[in-house]
Structure 1
Amino acid sequence: MNAMSVLSLADSGHAPVMLREIVEHLRPQSGGIYLDGTFGGGGYARAILGAADCTLYAIDRDPDAIARGRALAGALRAETGTAAGGDRLRMVEGGFGDMRALLEAEGVSALDGVVLDLGVSSFQIDQAERGFSFRADGPLDMRMSRSGPTAADLVNTLPEAELADVIYQYGEERLSRRIARAIVAARAEAPFETTLQLAGVIRRVVPADRSGIDPATRSFQALRIRVNDELGQIERGLEQAASMLRPGGRLVVVSFHSLEDRIVKRFMAEAAGRAPSPSRHDPRAQMRPDAPAGFRLVSGKALRPSDGETRHNPRARSAKLRTLERLSSAPMPPMSPGEAR
């Protein structure tokens, strides 16, 4: 199949971050089986399928993303004139933190590569009705899967201290207690229902940042992470992805904020036997010569997007790409308890 024919399929304006670097690090091979654990707009899927005659499983917990993927599979069938063309892309609904069970149900127990984009899909951000954006009004939802408690449920029911802890832990917001106090006072007058209602309360008590970042940014991030158990998904997904890789297979991850990247960086370093213990005063804070040599870090430092990409796509500014390669079938070392657990 011609690579450009796949890549040129309409993508509704979605700009996948560090696309060239993703494909270079994943190294898709004909006949291989790969996983895009965060299908989103399908940008990575198109590039992977265009780079090699391989099979790609794509996981997403957003029903809208699953529908986009099935449409893409249908376009592939029409392009090739065969059912096999569409079968190269196989959509699986669910969270990537459950990838092992989801893929085993599809008859897949080993992979030649996995890519995870930990950012929120631009489709979700740009659709006000999904409730992720503090710039456009919509229901205070934030659920990626459209099931379970919403962000409105949290801000209307959590005790003040617990709400402050959520905002501080997942948003790294130093004014979390002030924000929680303001939210509790406001909900006593009327329950929160919309994004701009919440953003307005936060903006009244948080001074504008010199960087120009909206005062509501960190609080919205915190609620989104909590609603979707994003850090738990990452921890489970990393362990399962690495354990399913065949020798020579690679796990390529793009993260967008410090909480995500801290988990990814530590996991990959530990898998490669290079992680020090948390404190430099701890006598165990040294490289671990006894760690299984079953993995290696493809690059010592995280890769960042080019200046050209960030000018074209400002959402790429904070992206960091890290890659782990499996060298042997040595067992996965257990992940050390992290700050996000």
Structure 2
Amino acid sequence: MSTMVEIKHRPVLVDKVVDLMNPECGKVFVDATVGDGGHSLALFERCEDIRIIAIDRDPEAIKRSKMFLESYGDRVEFHNINFIEIDRVVSYFVDGVIFDLGLSTFQIFDDKRGFSFGRNSPLDMGMDEGAMSVEHFINSASPDEIADVLYQYGGERKSRRIARRIVSEREKEPIMTTSRLATIVKCAYPPGYHRIHPATRTFQALRIWANSELNHLRVALPKALRVIRPGGVVVVISYHSLEDRIVKVEFARTAESAEYELITRKPITPDRSEILNNRSSRSAKLRAIKRSDSRKRGS
């Protein structure tokens, strides 16, 4: 247990997030994916006299964020809910909402969770009890159903070959662990494929499918945009082209109204230094939108 406590997630693009949020005395922010509390901590470091509503669907993440943010006492309000329920716990206007859609380091290294193909874990991948069972899906779905998930959510071009291999291997013995699934996927690739691990897209697709991540993002974004006050900002950090497209389209549609303005015409990405220090940041894209100040709109 102590080892897992010591594993702490490095927040991505944290300085940019803090600059965009501009924490000042009395402001209130929603950290909709609080994880280990990295972005929230950075906001407090800029200004301690703020309040944060911390949300995460993962109960373990809430436990850990409480530990890392305990020194801020009642200035942090914790909710173990899916961010699609943001409008249930935010009953007044706030100054900013941050979504960091990536997995935390703790989730990746937790052997009970099954998020990483580099560990020998149960084939779980669930963020909470509402997630669909990856183990059941892999061991019962048709080849076409498996291939469709891998292609739709992971952009896996060898989805049909992988699906056939999975079905063939599960007939010998049920697929119960991440390491066995990763090996099966790797064997579906030709020798010498080294750009990324062959199982990367498969695991990403299964996780996104199991947790309904894209649908939840589509529901949550309009709600977040409605709860920010004039001058408030919504920031989203995504790690997948499908996530980024949902954010891009929703922000562009919203910015057609005079009530909102895009801050980022193009996504902000980590610089070389951050990528070298935090490999998990390499695919991150940040987009931000602001609710226009009513005084400026009237001028």
TM-score by length of 1: 0.81
Q: Secondary structure at the match of 2:112?
A: helix
CA contact (8 A) 1:11 1:42 kept: no
Residue 305 of structure 1 pairs with residue 265 of structure 2 = no
Paired letter, 1:121: S
What does residue 29 of structure 2 align with?
A: 34
- Alignment correspondent of 1:285: none
The offset of 1:122, in angstroms, is 1.4
Letter of the 1:63 partner, please give it.
Answer: P
Tell me which stretches of 4 or more aligned residues in structure 1 moved more than 6 Å: none
Secondary structure of the corresponding residue to residue 130 of structure 1: coil
Judge conservation of contact 2:37–2:69 (CA < 8 Å) in 1: no
2:61 corresponds to which of 49, 58, 65: 65
Alignment of 1:6-21 (within 5 A): 12-21=7-16
Instruction: Name the CA distance, whole Å, in 1 between partners of 2:187 and 2:86.
Output: 42
Select the residue among 245, 258, 266 that pairs with 1:262.
245
SS in 2 for 1:129: coil
1:339 corresponding residue in structure 2: none
User: What secondary structure is seen at the aligned counterpart in 2 of 1:34?
Assistant: strand
Structure 2 residue matching 1:61: 3-state secondary structure: coil
Report what 2:159 is aligned to: 176
* Cα separation, 2, equivalents of 1:38 and 1:116: 6
Match of 1:47 in 2: 42
AA at the equivalent of 2:273: G
Cα distance in 2 between the residues matched to 1:264 and 1:74: 32
Closer, same or farther: CA 205–124 of 1 in aligned 2, 3 Å: same
Counterpart-to-counterpart distance in 2, 1:186 and 1:130: 23
Other structure's SS at 2:35 match:
coil
Amino acid at match of 1:231: L
Matched, 1:294 2:259: yes
TM-score, normalising length from structure 2? 0.92
SS in structure 1 of the partner of residue 248 of structure 2:
helix
**For residue 152 of structure 1, what is the aligned residue in structure 2?**
135
RMSD of aligned residue pairs (Cα, Å): 1.7
CA contact (8 A) 1:115 1:253 kept: yes
Q: Which consecutive residues of structure 2, in runs of 5 or more, have no partner in the other structure?
A: 295-299
- Indicate the residue corresponding to 1:218 in structure 2: 201
Letter in 1 for 2:133: T
Deviations, residues 178-227 of structure 1 (Å, cap 9, x unaligned): 11111111112211110011111111112367562011111111100011
Cα distance in 2, alignment partners of residues 121 and 73 from structure 1? 16
In structure 1, give the amino acid aligned to 2:149. V
Whichever residue aligns with residue 68 of structure 2, its letter is: L
The aligned amino acid for 1:75 is S
Q: How many angstroms apart in 2 are the aligned matches of 1:67 and 1:191?
A: 33
Is the counterpart of residue 97 in structure 1 residue 84 in structure 2? yes
Alpha carbons 1:34, 1:56 under 8 Å: kept: yes
Long gaps (5+) in structure 1: 1-9, 77-85, 274-291, 330-341
User: C-alpha distance in 1, partners of 2:93/2:192?
Assistant: 47
Distance 1:149 1:310 in 2: 32
Distance in 1, matches of 2:267 and 2:116, equals 28
Q: Are residue 161 (structure 1) and residue 126 (structure 2) matched?
A: no
Pairwise CA distance, 1:147? 4.4
Amino acid in structure 2 at the alignment position of 1:43: G
- Does the CA-based 8 Å contact 2:8-2:106 persist in structure 1? no
Work out whether residues 11 and 41 of structure 1, in 8 Å CA contact, stay in contact via their aligned partners in 2.
no
1:332 matched residue in structure 2: none
Aligned residues with identical type, % of pairs? 42
Q: Is the 8 A contact 1:14 1:43 kept in 2?
A: yes
